[in-house]
Protein backbone atom coordinates (compact mmCIF):
# COMPACT_ATOMS: atom_id res chain seq x y z
CA UNK A 1 0.00 0.00 0.00
CA UNK A 2 2.83 2.43 0.77
CA UNK A 3 4.43 1.72 -2.64
CA UNK A 4 1.38 3.05 -4.49
CA UNK A 5 1.13 6.13 -2.29
CA UNK A 6 4.84 6.91 -2.70
CA UNK A 7 5.12 6.35 -6.45
CA UNK A 8 2.18 8.54 -7.52
CA UNK A 9 3.44 11.89 -6.17
CA UNK A 10 6.98 11.18 -7.39
CA UNK A 11 5.67 10.45 -10.88
CA UNK A 12 3.66 13.68 -10.95
CA UNK A 13 6.67 15.75 -9.92
CA UNK A 14 8.79 14.27 -12.71
CA UNK A 15 6.06 14.90 -15.29
CA UNK A 16 5.75 18.56 -14.23
CA UNK A 17 9.46 19.26 -14.62
CA UNK A 18 11.00 20.24 -17.94
CA UNK A 19 13.77 18.06 -19.37
CA UNK A 20 17.24 19.09 -18.20
CA UNK A 21 18.47 19.90 -21.71
CA UNK A 22 15.59 22.26 -22.31
CA UNK A 23 16.16 24.03 -18.98
CA UNK A 24 19.83 24.54 -19.87
CA UNK A 25 18.92 25.95 -23.29
CA UNK A 26 16.38 28.35 -21.79
CA UNK A 27 19.01 29.55 -19.29
CA UNK A 28 21.57 30.07 -22.09
CA UNK A 29 19.02 31.95 -24.21
CA UNK A 30 18.14 34.22 -21.28
CA UNK A 31 21.80 34.99 -20.63
CA UNK A 32 22.43 35.63 -24.34
CA UNK A 33 19.43 37.98 -24.65
CA UNK A 34 20.55 39.98 -21.63
CA UNK A 35 24.09 40.13 -22.99
CA UNK A 36 22.84 41.45 -26.34
CA UNK A 37 20.59 44.00 -24.61
CA UNK A 38 23.54 45.19 -22.50
CA UNK A 39 25.69 45.43 -25.63
CA UNK A 40 23.10 47.61 -27.40
CA UNK A 41 22.74 49.75 -24.29
CA UNK A 42 26.51 50.22 -24.20
CA UNK A 43 26.65 51.15 -27.89
CA UNK A 44 23.93 53.78 -27.51
CA UNK A 45 25.44 55.07 -24.26
CA UNK A 46 28.90 55.46 -25.76
CA UNK A 47 27.48 56.92 -28.96
CA UNK A 48 25.66 59.63 -27.04
CA UNK A 49 22.21 58.87 -28.47
CA UNK A 50 19.49 61.08 -27.09
Compute the average pLDDT of residues 30-34.
97
Instruction: Give one DSSP letter per residue of the chain, joined into a string.
Output: -HHHHHHHHHHHHHHHSPPHHHHHHHHHHHHHHHHHHHHHHHHHHHHT--
Can you give the pLDDT at residue 9?
A: 56
Can you give the pLDDT at residue 46?
A: 94
List pLDDT tens digits, range 4-23: 555 555 555 566 777 889 99
Amino acid sequence: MSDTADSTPRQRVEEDRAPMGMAVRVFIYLVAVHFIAAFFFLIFYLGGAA
